[in-house]
């Protein structure tokens, strides 16, 4: 493993990504996490909705850095099983989950946008309840750690272990980006990691109660998310194209070609 790269005052975080990205592709998830904790200290946090992949990362992180930061965007529409898992995580790992909420309570959202916005315009609902609070939280950080995997959706297929997040403007770290679902579950069983009880009831991917259903045999694991809509992402991991002029500016600021 290339000696863990420390952020220096001479290089922007953006330039550090370019420096480390190539090497990081050969690192284990634990090495990626170790690098992230060393490079960013308290300015990096794991973001999780406590799916199976997220639980793997939380367990791995706890073995490397007992004092790791973990946050979640609580839409206030989560399953009781998810809230129960959050309690179990705090107890088992001795941490406090940082919870981020929408600026609008569910009641305020209904008053302003009408009833059941998720059934008419899930993109707006996700923006209000997930993307905007996430943007606020990421504004406090230099880097975030996610549990996305390349084979989950087409949007995620090009993700790197370490990359610059053009949408939110910070470093994005994806330690298990090349893992399969089988590897995730092997880790969970081998290390006795807690997981959401709904996974045992045909919910491979779990979001809000209004937009998640169990999948039927043979269906895609994410078929139960936003059923009836073409939507497969809530917008947190969609990469915004970087305008050419901004790319050139960033390259020149970082000394890159």
**Active centre residues (catalytic):** 234
Q: Is 161 in the site for ligand SF4 (CB under 6 A)?
A: no
- Applying CB under 6 A, which of residues 46, 60, 93, 129 lies at the interface with ligand SF4? 129
By CB under 6 A, which span of 57-65, 85-93, 146-154, 203-211 interacts with ligand SF4?
203-211
Q: Is 147 in the site for ligand SF4 (CB under 6 A)?
A: no
CB of 29 to ligand SF4, least distance (A): 27
| Residues 155/232, Cβ–Cβ less than 8 Å | yes
Q: At what angle do helices 29-40 and 13-24 cross, to 10 degrees?
A: 160
By CB under 6 A, which span of 18-26, 32-40, 123-131, 188-196 interacts with ligand SF4?
123-131
> What is the full DSSP assignment across 73-133?
E--S-B-HHHHHHHHHHHHHHT---EEE--SS-HHHHHHHH-TTHHHH-HHHHHIIIIIHH
Q: Is 118 in the site for ligand SF4 (CB under 6 A)?
A: yes
Q: Is 206 in the site for ligand SF4 (CB under 6 A)?
A: no
Q: Is 203 in the site for ligand SF4 (CB under 6 A)?
A: no
For 143-220, strand residue ranges (E) read 143-145, 162-165, 170-173
Identify the three-state secondary structure at position 207. coil
- Applying CB under 6 A, which of residues 36, 85, 234, 236 lies at the interface with ligand SF4? 234
Q: At what angle do helices 52-64 and 181-190 cross, to 10 degrees?
A: 50
Which is nearest to 206 in space by CA: 44, 75, 65?
75
Rg of the chain in Å (alpha carbons): 18
Q: Is 207 in the site for ligand SF4 (CB under 6 A)?
A: yes
Q: Is 162 in the site for ligand SF4 (CB under 6 A)?
A: no
Residues that bind ligand SF4 (CB under 6 A): 75, 77, 118, 122, 125-126, 129-130, 207-208, 210-211, 234
């Amino acid at each position: 493993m290339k000696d863990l790269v420390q952020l220096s005052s001479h290089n922007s975080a953006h330039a550090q990504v370019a420096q480390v990205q190539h090497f990081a592709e050969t690192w284990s998830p634990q090495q990626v996490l170790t690098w992230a904790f060393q490079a960013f200290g308290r300015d990096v946090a794991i973001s999780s909705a406590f799916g199976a992949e997220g639980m793997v990362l939380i367990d791995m992180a706890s073995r490397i850095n007992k004092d790791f930061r973990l946050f979640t965007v609580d839409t206030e529409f989560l399953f009781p099983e998810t809230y129960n898992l959050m309690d179990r995580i705090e107890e088992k790992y001795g941490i406090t989950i940082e919870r981020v909420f929408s600026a609008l309570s569910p009641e305020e959202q209904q008053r302003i946008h009408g009833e059941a916005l998720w059934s008419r315009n899930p993109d707006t609902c996700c923006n209000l309840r997930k993307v905007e609070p996430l943007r606020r939280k990421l504004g406090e950080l230099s880097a975030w750690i996610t549990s996305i995997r390349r084979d989950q959706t087409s949007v995620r297929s090009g993700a790197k272990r370490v990359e610059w997040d053009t949408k939110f403007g910070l470093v994005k770290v994806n330690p298990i980006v090349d893992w399969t679902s089988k590897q995730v579950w092997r880790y969970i069983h081998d290390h006795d990691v807690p997981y959401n009880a709904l996974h045992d009831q045909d919910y491979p991917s779990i979001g809000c109660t209004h937009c998640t259903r169990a999948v039927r045999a043979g269906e895609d694991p994410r078929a139960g998310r936003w059923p009836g809509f073409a939507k497969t992402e809530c917008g947190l991991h969609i990469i915004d194209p970087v305008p050419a002029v901004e790319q050139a500016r960033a390259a020149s600021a970082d000394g890159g070609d």
